Amino acid sequence: AEPADIVAFVEDLLSEKKKSLRGKRLIVTAGATIEAIDPVRFISNHSTGKMGYAIAEALARRGAEVVLISGRTSLPTPTGVRRIDVLSAQEMYEASVREFATAVMCAAVADYTPEEVAPTKLKKGDGELTIRLKRTHDIAAELGAHKAGRILVGFALETDHEEANAEGKLQRKNFDFIVLNSLRDAGAGFGVDTNKVTLIDRAGREELPLLSKAETAEKIADKIESILK
Ligand code: CTP
């Protein structure tokens, strides 16, 4: 076994936490999607997947069966997690519908994708180039419309009107709660190991302090667990 797996196993044996999510199946979407323009270029975003991977790990450590539907990242698969690699928003949508269960929608999904993917490398011309984009599936909203007793947790990364935007998404996508990140907070955002989030549900909001992404993941897992009970 790899050293990291041995460490995870021993930590697990020593941990005080019971297997409080044993018998529960959850999906976590994480990372950035990649929308091909041609065989060489793509449209994507800065998500590294760290937050989603930390959540998958926290849930698995509590005994849940976790399916991690992952866009492009360079992170190792957390111990005990089943990982499905996808590239585009369409592939992430199909995997999410197929695996649909209580879900944490952490991925940074492209909202638009090129209308056509060029089969061969686009060559430059003298003038400007326009690429027409079409909408992708809003995976969270579509799962939210068919959730029937499943719990759905969303994320919102905002740069302005943070709380109003997050509350709008909570309602529109039928989330049980939403995790708001503001890019204005130091220590929150892409690639860093810390996060500062506010958990918002229909009853109110809970502002968490600056924590590591692993600690933030534990808080999110605590809240999921309390709803599942
Ligand atoms: N999401 C999704 N599928 C999409 C877009 C977003 O599942 N095509 C999910 C994200 O994983 C996140 C939540 O919806 O949990 C909010 O994502 P965000 O990008 O903040 O919201 P958008 O709906 O894209 O809204 P906007 O672009 O207007 O901010």
Chain segment 92-144, per-residue pLDDT in tens: 999 999 999 999 999 999 999 999 999 999 999 999 999 999 999 999 999 99
- Ligand 1, atom 17, residue with closest C-alpha: 156
The full DSSP string for 153-220 is EEEEEESSSHHHHHHHHHHHTT-SEEEEEETTSTT-SSS-SEE-EEEEETTEEEE--SEEHHHHHHHH
Residue with tokens 């590294």: 48
**Measuring from atom 9 of ligand 1, which residue has the nearest CA?**
140
Active site residue 195: no
Binding pocket residue ranges, ligand 1, CB within 6 Å: 29, 89, 105, 107, 109, 111, 136, 138-140, 154-157, 169, 173
Instruction: Convert the pLDDT of each residue in 81-102 to its tens digit.
Output: 999 999 999 999 999 999 999 9
pTM: 0.92
Task: State residue 184's pLDDT score.
Answer: 78
Give 14 Cα–ligand 1 centroid separation in angstroms: 38
Residue nearest to atom 18 of ligand 1 (CA): 156
Mutate to test the pocket of ligand 1, among 136, 169, 177, 199 (most ligand atoms within 8 A of CB): 169
